[in-house]
Structures are given as structure tokens and as C-alpha cells.
């Protein structure tokens, strides 16, 4: 909603806040509260799901709340491969290690 500025001459615009959907719980939230993850292939050919904390890594990204229950739901529903468009088995070790560091 637009608000009038002090002079009353022009409306003051509210800022646009990017909204994303969590892979696990499927709730929408502000982008700043969600964690972006991407798929990275290592030298042995294994695809790893890595956290993109700075939101700068290239490639397709997916978003989720940095909570264990959201990750468990995403794993149970097998949505990482579909959301990131990868066809191989994926390794969640880098993501779970990052979340463990956050909790401790």
C-alpha cells in the first residue's frame, strides 16, 4: 500500500520483499529467512547438496528453512533432485554438516 510523504505531493513506495517457498514445509517466506541450496558435482562424480549462504553460487537453486524438520520433510518427499533438476543420487552431507554447525 502506498503512503503519502511529508509534502503530500507523491506517494511513498513500499519495498518489494522477495518471497520463496520452502522445499520441506511448502510454506512461503521472506528470502532472508530461507537458506538457498545448490547441487555441486565433485571430482568423483557425486552430486552434493551444498548451502549457498551468500546466495551467489551459479546454477539452479532451491530454498528451505534451516531447520531439521524441513530438511527431513524434503528428504522424505524426495524433492531435492526434482527442484534442482538432477538425475543422479545426491549426497546431503554438506548441508547437514552446515546445519549442525549452526545449531552448535
Residue 37, domain extent: 19-103
Question: Is the predicted pLDDT of residue 72 greater than 90, yes or no?
Answer: yes
What whole-number distance in Å separates Cα of residue 38 and Cα of residue 55? 9
Q: Which of 85, 93, 82, 87 is nearest to 49 (CA)?
A: 93
Q: Of 57 and 11, which is predicted with more confidence? A: 57
Question: Is the predicted pLDDT of residue 2 greater than 60, yes or no?
Answer: no
Question: Edge-to-edge, what's the strand order for the sheet holding 35-41?
Answer: 61-64, 35-41, 47-51, 90-91
Please check whether residue 5 lies inside any domain of the structure.
Answer: no
Please check whether residue 62 lies inside any domain of the structure.
Answer: yes
pLDDT of residue 9: 66
Please check whether residue 44 lies inside any domain of the structure.
Answer: yes
Cα angle 93, 34, 96 (rounded to 5 degrees) comes to 15
Please check whether residue 98 lies inside any domain of the structure.
Answer: yes
Please check whether residue 25 lies inside any domain of the structure.
Answer: yes
pLDDT tens column, 7-56: 666 666 677 889 999 999 999 999 999 999 999 998 888 999 999 999 99
Please check whether residue 65 lies inside any domain of the structure.
Answer: yes
Question: Is the predicted pLDDT of residue 62 greater than 60, yes or no?
Answer: yes
Q: What total number of domains does the chain contain?
A: 1
CATH number for the domain spanning 38: value is 3.30.1230.10
pLDDT tens column, 83-102: 999 988 889 999 999 999 98
pLDDT of residue 5: 59
Amino acid at each position: 500500500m502506498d503512503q503519502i510523504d511529508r509534502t503530500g505531493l507523491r506517494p511513498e513506495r513500499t519495498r518489494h520483499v522477495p518471497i520463496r517457498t520452502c522445499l520441506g514445509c511448502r510454506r512461503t517466506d521472506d528470502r532472508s529467512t530461507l537458506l538457498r541450496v545448490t547441487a555441486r558435482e565433485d571430482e568423483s562424480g557425486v552430486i552434493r547438496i551444498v548451502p549457498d549462504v551468500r546466495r551467489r553460487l551459479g546454477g539452479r537453486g532451491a530454498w528451505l528453512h534451516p531447520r531439521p524438520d524441513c530438511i527431513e520433510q524434503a528428504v522424505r518427499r524426495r524433492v531435492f533432485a526434482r527442484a534442482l533438476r538432477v538425475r543422479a543420487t545426491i549426497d546431503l552431507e554438506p548441508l547437514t554438516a552446515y546445519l549442525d554447525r549452526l545449531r552448535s
